[in-house]
Chains A and B, each alone.
Chain A
Amino acid sequence: MTMLKLRAMLALGTSAFVLAACQGEDAGDTTETIEDDTEETTDNGEDTAEENGEDTEDIDFSIAMITDEGGVDDRSFNQSAWEGMNEWADSHGLSNDHINYYQSDDAQDFIPNLNQAIAEDYDIIYGIGFALLDAISDVAEQNPDMQFGIVDEIVEMDNVVSLTFRDHEAAFLAGVAAAETTETGRVGFIGGISGTVIDRFEAGFRAGVAHVDEDITVDIDYAGSFTDASIGQQIAAVMYSNGADIVYHAAGAVGNGVFTEARNRLESDPDDEIWVIGVDRDQEEEGNWDDGNFTLTSTLKGVGASIESSANLAMDEGFPGGENIAYGLEEEGVDLTRGNLSDEVWDAVEEARQGILDGDITVPEAPDEL
């Protein structure tokens, strides 16, 4: 009763707009019927997709993602997931109606966003990032018939596929590249929010640097954020001023500030030899400036590719629910770009890569294993 009353009073307060909304109700109803239709055909759609293989017209499979607080345009983690979804749609000749993203501005948006996606009946709904662990677990439990995916965390439920990455392997290669390239004997690492995922980056990077030369100093700092570019810029300014010439960031959108700082420095002093190592996707274009490019290299994290391959797997062979699919160098789920690395440095990187693949080098997952 109270609820109804509240609703009535709220409706009074905003009567003009609710009235406006009522006028358009017909339009809303039509979309709902269309959605109902898709709902009915979804089950059949999976079958037809299997039979017809690459025949694109009959595919009725759609996927959606919920970003973490970084937003879909963070030029890093979330964006690479979204790019992967776009590639997935392109490769099947699907229109953009089959993919969608929901942005979260705050942790409290995760669950409403997931429920929005559930209402639209996507076949797989991906939670991008470890921050969505609780939200995905709760919602997956409430909706046992829906299928979910989570990146960077493990949810052991039959309707959730977990996509994890051995980021430390790629970070190790970045460490090798940085140690081989540095002129000052000092490099920097900027993490987002410390925790198991970013720990892998820090541990891998430090181990990679130490693998080349134990005397190289690695400055470590954490932004405590994945979103605030100004903190990234501040930390990078301190690191460069203290003599570091290469800064590796594993901090999502915070990294944009690192690129800004490096660009500002180069523009005021073009002879400065400083570099940034990008993260999660090839951030080479972020490093463009008037006189060249200062992105030394980027560690790649195949978030997009993992989404693509798990969606394909679900379409072709059935949803890999309950599985944890781990991607490392071996699976080409993580990698290092060639970027602006010199031939000698690249040789050293290749050597280290081989060492990891052969099992000669064990890369630590957490800084305290160093």
Chain B
Amino acid sequence: MQFVLKNILHFMPLIFGIGFLGPLLAQIIQVLGWQASLGLAPLTLGLIVGGTWGAFAQFKGRWI
């Protein structure tokens, strides 16, 4: 149990980036009426940005 918890929390920046920031950015894009380039759907773009940001936070240890 402790091992599972520890590992989930260890990867939380990446999980949070994809699981929360991705849909959040997609929703913000939709609310603001922005058009993503390359015909990307808002959720796809949100997941790319959120996932990249989460990966940055995961490896660098900071969001900003």
- Whether chains A and B associate is no
Binding site for A on B (CB under 8 A): none
Q: Which A residues are closer than 8 A to B by beta carbons?
A: none
